[in-house]
Amino acid sequence: MATKAALREQILTQLNKMDQATYEKRSQVIAEQLFQEKMWQNATTIGITIARFPEIATQAIIKQAWQDGKVVSIPETDNKTKSMQFRVYEDGDELCKKALGLYEPLESAAVVPKTKVDLLIVPGVLFRTDGYRIGFGAGFYDRYLDGYQGATISLCYPEQITTTFKPEPHDLPVQKLVIENNLK
């Protein structure tokens, strides 16, 4: 069985071949599917990343959340402690680019307690249909999910679904996968 690192590299190489127009179209299809989910409709505060290619684009999702009157929060990571917290992100807020190349909120943005995030949209590279995932390798979400009580969803392309990895004891599954063109 291939290592998580090898599987991660393999799928990212495949996804990175996608052209921009295809990427935008596929991300929009997945976003529209997300908006049909009860977890989305019932949430008042969401946790979501500012995605980077080839992750499912999140800007349209964030804009829809604002239009729906939801509080949007994005993660702030601490590489020293390997921890993460979410901070409020409002239209027009300035972001800073961190060590991992992710755009994160400024420290002046209000912290959103873990108990206040209704829906966490959890990024990942590979997924099993039972919700277990291989992330990007830093472990921030694995640590954050420990003790998190809200709803969890991951967005993915069909080619990100696999059965070729076994979850580790610290891995926690997401409750729902929103798979492109799969309205289960």
Each residue's pLDDT tens digit, 130-174: 999 888 777 788 889 888 999 999 999 999 898 888 888 878 899
- Superfamily for domain range 4-179: NagB/RpiA/CoA transferase-like (3.40.50.10420)
92 labelled binding-site residue? no
Question: What are the φ and ψ backbone dihedral angles of 130, each rounded to 5 degrees?
Answer: -85, 10
- Does 43 show up as a binding residue in the annotation? no
Distance (Å) of CA 43 to CA 6, 24, 47, 48, 126: 35, 25, 10, 12, 25
Known binding residue 46? Answer is no
Confirm or deny that 5 is annotated as ligand binding: yes
pTM over 0.95: no
* 125 pLDDT above the threshold of 80: yes
Band the pLDDT of 1: cuts 50, 70, 90.
low
179 is in an annotated binding site: no
Q: Which whole number is the average pLDDT over 53-69?
A: 93
Query: Is residue 137 a known part of a binding site?
Result: yes
